[in-house]
Amino acid sequence: MQSSLSGKTALVVGAGRGLGAAIADAIVDAGGIVYGTSRDPRTAAQIAERYGTVPLSVDIRVLDSIRSAIAQVFSQAGSIDLLVNNAGVNAPQAALDVDPDSWNLVHETNVRGVFFTSQLVAQQWVQRQIAGSIVTVASQAGLVAIEDRAAYGSSKAAVIHLTKQLAYEWAHYGIRVNAVAPTFVRTELTASTLADPQRAKRLLDGIPLGRFGSPNEVADCVVFLLGESASLITGHTLVIDGGYTIH
């Protein structure tokens, strides 16, 4: 049986570690070809070596950086069929303490970067008549309030709405746009948060299924949404939260 993403070329933005690396691995396991990005040139080289492609050092806050990476993938691979927007930042601060620089960093990366990466890829798809598929990594913090997440939560709420907007505008080109909204997942980025026993217990108490997520659980959902099994799904945010947002 043919793998679900067999022969498809995916651009995974933020593929260096954690969720991004798990998503990239899952795409390869499903038969796809991965071109992954990182802001750090050394990590970008490691990603390229891992997947047998080319290094893509990208800052998604810089349009020329995004544009150059997209052009490079089209030149090397001949096409981009799938886009995963995984790159994002968080700067936890109480709402009373959020400073403009932190706010701008979070929103420029998580919203502006996601939008213009999606737009620049979709422009190529429209020109080339490619019915592509986009999945963006949002968060449960975009659906419910979580302490110290004013900037991050509002950015992910914007991403969830943006998913609907782009899906609506691009559906007639055959482009599907979806998102996933994970709960707290055990990665390098959450290690320090979950290492605090009291904080970890408080967070865990909010998850009815009683455990944190794993990167593979999120990655499998991303692969599903990217592939033909989800061909009638667009504008949807798949919540992967163990029940966190149902109460």
Maximum Cα–Cα distance across the chain: 55
Span 65-79, mean pLDDT?
A: 97
Is 60 exceeded by the pLDDT of residue 82?
A: yes
Whether residue 193 is predicted with pLDDT greater than 80 in this model: the reply is no
Angle of the 114-128 helix axis to the 63-77 helix axis, nearest 10: 40
Asked whether 89 and 110 are in contact (CB, 8 A), the reply is: yes
- The pTM (predicted TM-score) of the whole model is 0.96
For the annotated catalytic residues, the residue numbers are: 152
Residue-level length of the chain: 247
What angle do helix axes 18-29 and 41-51 make, rounded to 10 degrees? Answer: 20
Give helix 18-29 / helix 215-226 axis angle, nearest 10°: 50
pLDDT-based confidence at 239, cuts 50/70/90?
A: very high
Looking at residue 146, what is its pLDDT?
A: 92
| pLDDT over threshold 70, residue 2 | no
- pLDDT category at 6 given cuts 50, 70, 90 is very high
Three-class secondary structure assignment of 43-100: HHHHHHHHHCCCCEECCCCCHHHHHHHHHHHHHHHCCCCEEEECCCCCCCECHHHCCH
Instruction: Report residue 179 as tokens.
Output: 């998102």
Task: Give the bridge partners for 213, in sequence order.
Answer: 185
pLDDT at position 243, please?
Answer: 97
Q: What is the chain's alpha carbon radius of gyration, rounded to the nearest angstrom?
A: 17
Angle CA(86)–CA(74)–CA(56) in degrees, nearest 5? 45
Average pLDDT over residues 192-208: 87
